[in-house]
A and B are shown apart, each in its own frame.
Chain A
Amino acid sequence: MKRTLVCLMVLGAFLALVAAPVSAETLELITWEGYAPKVLIDKFMQETGIEVKPTYSTNEEMIAKLRATRGAGFDLAQPSQDRISAVQAKYKIYQPIDYSQVNSDQIIASMLEAVKKNTVVDNESYGIPHVYGTSGLIVNRKFAPDAKDYTDLLNPEYKGRVSYRLKRPTLIGLAFAMGKDPFALYSDPKAYKTLMEDIGQKMIEGKPLVKLYYDNNDAILQALQSEEVHVAMAWDIGGWKMHAVNPDIDFIAPKSGALGWIDTFAIPAKAKNVAGAYKWINFMMRPENAAVFTNAEKYGTASKGALKFVDEAVKANFTRSFTDADIDNIKWYPTVPAGLEGMEGKILDKVKAAQ
């Protein structure tokens, strides 16, 4: 009798152990660093009982990871809007968004429409806007008072004090600064290639001026903070974070236009917890939650009405770096056609290998 009881207890304990992980609902999120603040994850857990598990990544890695599993392993991803449709057409890693499940009253209408239009594949759309921002120049005014455009990245005056990423935004920014419109050439791969090779050549010539090619945001912020780098091409929020530490440093919108990006929510093809994904999207776009995120990370949000909850200091960042003309001049990334990345990658490899 006693033995049976012990057996039962052991069995019960075993079952409890096995069943426990199943009962707690989770949401596997692949996103950018800082896009899932702890406060909001905790609040979401309290509201819905769903545990969000974020994995931090970049556009390229998100695509590579989802491609490797054909869209499995994650319930929600956050690629930039220009990197969705070509990837989706080729690798089929996302599923169409059911916009009836999205509380679209919470989202700035023009932005939602733009993202819908830019992420269309076979009459279905694949993205919902989340945050936006720009890349431009971060300048230390004490050492480089006159830097105002991407061409200053190639300016011998700042020898050894320049830094940028060897990624496509740098090529695009330099192209605009040289008076070209690379986005208009997206449809003409040949002309685009000639333009990019030309820019690659300029970057090779400008290589002695470069302090380092950085890979992650921390590396460049550290170099800026220690005043080893005076002119850098980087994201706006980096400049604003630095400005709070050292008022000499600030983000400026380059004369030829800051490059504007919108990061989205997209649902992977084999997501397990689709309902949870929509819950998280609606939760994140709620104005007071979006404002918590913007106050912490300084990014602009696509949430309508979040602005009234945003700190004055964060608003001041924006007005300090952008005049009305600068805002009109922002170059928003159009959808990247397939095949461009390979060509650009080769040019950037050449720059990196050049002596």
Chain B
Amino acid sequence: MTMKRRFHITLPLICFLTPVLLWLVLLIVLPHVDLLRMSLRAEDDYGNAIWSFSNYMAFFQEPIYWLTFVRTAVYSIMVTVMTFIVAMPVAFYITKVVAPRFQGFLMMLLLMPFWVSELVRVYGWMILLRESGVINHFLTRMGILNQPIEMLYNDVTMVMGLVYTSMLFMAVPLVSVLESLDDSLIEAACDLGANMGTIFFRIVIPHAMPGIVSGSIVVFMLTLGNYLTPNMIGGKNALWFTEQIYNQFIASFNWNQGSAFGFLLLVLSSLVIWAGLKLTRQKLSRVVQ
């Protein structure tokens, strides 16, 4: 005999659910519906507003738009991978190598740069790297360089800036997932003669997978939607897709085109994350826990 649990709408349920629903509907669903409506409107030759797919068509017909789009996606994936490569040893060191009483201190050090705003951090990098900046000054003083070189405004610096900006969001989930890894598993593997590579790929990585995936999702989303860093450090070659959305809204007054771009960005990020989950055979429900 099975008891079926019915879902009753009770007063407490309504009380607790209302803020969440209001939040979702007013701040997320409604604006997006309006954005979608706007993205499907266009002007005909006489300046009248009509329903049309022309904003989306424009994206596919104009190489500059979809090239920027592809570029943004590829760079975001690259940044995510690099952030993982940098953050993994840090997280491993903090959880497994260092004495427990230093762990809190090291976590603190990791958090510290994020107490100042992103804008200030980006300006910090610019002061260091610009042609008349600190690093160039020292290199020329020590005679390593004959004349200062421009280190800003190229893709390498931009990727570095993005990795730096998103480091924390990868390190924190990795630390928390590695803390739950039992040290005796690693010790047992060592006793049984496994080398470092095997331990890392057969024990640590599989255990840390949910943390890796959730960290990657956050970093990927943040990078894809970043406006400041590509714009300021990336300089003259780095057209990021967010900048194009901004340009459509602000410079060209074409809100319809801008909304269409916004929606395409939403679809793109969802697709990449879906593909990432499929590839790593993770479930979203498990990753977000």
Find A349's partner among B237, B247, B250, B253 (CB 8 Å cutoff). B247
Binds B, one of A48-56, A133-141, A211-219, A289-297: A211-219
Are B150 and A160 closer than 8 Å at their CB atoms? Answer: yes
Is B59 positioned at the interface, with any CB of A under 8 Å from its CB? no
Within 8 A of B (CB), among A198-247: 207, 210-213, 215, 226-228
Find B68's partner among A87, A215, A342, A353 (CB 8 Å cutoff). A353
Are A349 and B244 closer than 8 Å at their CB atoms? Answer: yes
Contact with A along B127-150 (1 / 0, CB 8 A): 000111000000000000000001
Q: Which residues of B contact A355 (CB under 8 A)?
A: 237
Is B231 positioned at the interface, with any CB of A under 8 Å from its CB? yes
Residue of A at shortest CB range from B244? Answer: A349
Are A212 and B153 closer than 8 Å at their CB atoms? Answer: yes
Find B239's partner among A61, A64, A352 (CB 8 Å cutoff). A352
Is A63 positioned at the interface, with any CB of B under 8 Å from its CB? yes
Q: How many A-B residue pairs have CB under 8 A?
A: 66
Cα–Cα, bound, A350→B239 (Å): 9
Cα–Cα, bound, A346→B247 (Å): 9
Is A105 positioned at the interface, with any CB of B under 8 Å from its CB? no
Within 8 A of A (CB), among B218-266: 231, 235-237, 239, 244, 247-255, 257
Q: Which residues of B contact A342 (CB under 8 A)?
A: 252-254, 257
For residue B48, give the distance in angstroms from its CB to the closest CB of chain A.
Answer: 12
Are A228 and B252 closer than 8 Å at their CB atoms? Answer: no
| Given known A160-B150, A349-B244, contact A341–B251 (CB-CB < 8 A) | yes
Cα–Cα, bound, A20→B253 (Å): 39
Are A211 and B239 closer than 8 Å at their CB atoms? Answer: no
Cα–Cα, bound, A352→B244 (Å): 10
Q: Which residues of A contact B252 (CB under 8 A)?
A: 341-342, 344-346
Cα–Cα, bound, A215→B67 (Å): 23
Q: Which residues of A contact B255 (CB under 8 A)?
A: 67
Using C-beta atoms within 8 Å of the partner chain, give the interface range for chain A. 20 to 34
Find B64's partner among A210, A211, A215, A350 (CB 8 Å cutoff). A350
Within 8 A of B (CB), among A312-355: 341-342, 344-346, 348-350, 352-353, 355
Within 8 A of B (CB), among A48-87: 60-61, 63-64, 67, 87
Contact with A along B96-132 (1 / 0, CB 8 A): 0000000000000000000000000000000000111
| Given known A226-B131, A353-B64, contact A167–B235 (CB-CB < 8 A) | no
| Given known A212-B235, A212-B236, A352-B236, contact A60–B132 (CB-CB < 8 A) | no
Are B250 and A64 closer than 8 Å at their CB atoms? Answer: yes
For residue B282, give the distance in angstroms from its CB to the closest CB of chain A.
Answer: 35
| Given known A211-B150, A349-B64, contact A63–B244 (CB-CB < 8 A) | no
Are A228 and B131 closer than 8 Å at their CB atoms? Answer: yes
Are A228 and B132 closer than 8 Å at their CB atoms? Answer: yes
| Given known A345-B247, A353-B68, contact A210–B236 (CB-CB < 8 A) | yes
Q: Which residues of B contact A346 (CB under 8 A)?
A: 62, 64, 252
Using C-beta atoms within 8 Å of the partner chain, give the interface range for chain B. 20 to 34
Residue of B at shortest CB range from A163? Answer: B236
Cα–Cα, bound, A246→B230 (Å): 31
Residue of B at shortest CB range from A215? Answer: B231
Residue of B at shortest CB range from A342? Answer: B252
Q: Which residues of A contact B250 (CB under 8 A)?
A: 60-61, 64
Q: Which residues of B contact A352 (CB under 8 A)?
A: 236-237, 239
For residue B71, give the distance in angstroms from its CB to the closest CB of chain A.
Answer: 8
Q: Which residues of B contact A207 (CB under 8 A)?
A: 236
Q: Which residues of A contact B236 (CB under 8 A)?
A: 207, 210-213, 352
Cα–Cα, bound, A344→B251 (Å): 9
For residue A56, give the distance in angstroms from its CB to the closest CB of chain B.
Answer: 15
Specify which of B64, B236, B239 lies most central, judged by the most chain A CB atoms within 10 Å of its CB: B236
Cα–Cα, bound, A51→B256 (Å): 37
Q: Which residues of A contact B131 (CB under 8 A)?
A: 226, 228
Q: Which residues of A contact B235 (CB under 8 A)?
A: 212-213
Cα–Cα, bound, A160→B150 (Å): 10
For residue A205, give the distance in angstroms from its CB to the closest CB of chain B.
Answer: 14
Cα–Cα, bound, A227→B153 (Å): 17
Q: Which residues of B contact A213 (CB under 8 A)?
A: 235-236
Q: Which residues of A contact B248 (CB under 8 A)?
A: 345
Residue of A at shortest CB range from B71? Answer: A353
Q: Which residues of A contact B239 (CB under 8 A)?
A: 349, 352-353
Within 8 A of B (CB), among A242-258: none
Cα–Cα, bound, A330→B253 (Å): 28
Residue of B at shortest CB range from A350? Answer: B64
Q: Which residues of B contact A87 (CB under 8 A)?
A: 253
Q: Which residues of A contact B132 (CB under 8 A)?
A: 226-228
For residue A343, give the distance in angstroms from its CB to the closest CB of chain B.
Answer: 8
Cα–Cα, bound, A210→B235 (Å): 10
Cα–Cα, bound, A352→B248 (Å): 14
Residue of A at shortest CB range from B65? Answer: A349
Cα–Cα, bound, A353→B239 (Å): 6
Residue of A at shortest CB range from B67? Answer: A353
Are A60 and B68 closer than 8 Å at their CB atoms? Answer: no
- 17 CB contacts below 8 A, A to B, read A64-B250, A67-B255, A160-B150, A212-B152, A212-B153, A215-B231, A341-B252, A342-B257, A344-B252, A345-B252, A346-B64, A349-B64, A349-B68, A349-B244, A352-B239, A353-B239, A355-B237
Which residue numbers of A lie inside 8 Å of B, CB to CB?
60-61, 63-64, 67, 87, 160, 167, 207, 210-213, 215, 226-228, 341-342, 344-346, 348-350, 352-353, 355
Other contacts beyond A60-B253, A215-B231: 5, CB < 8 A: A211-B150, A228-B130, A228-B131, A342-B257, A352-B237
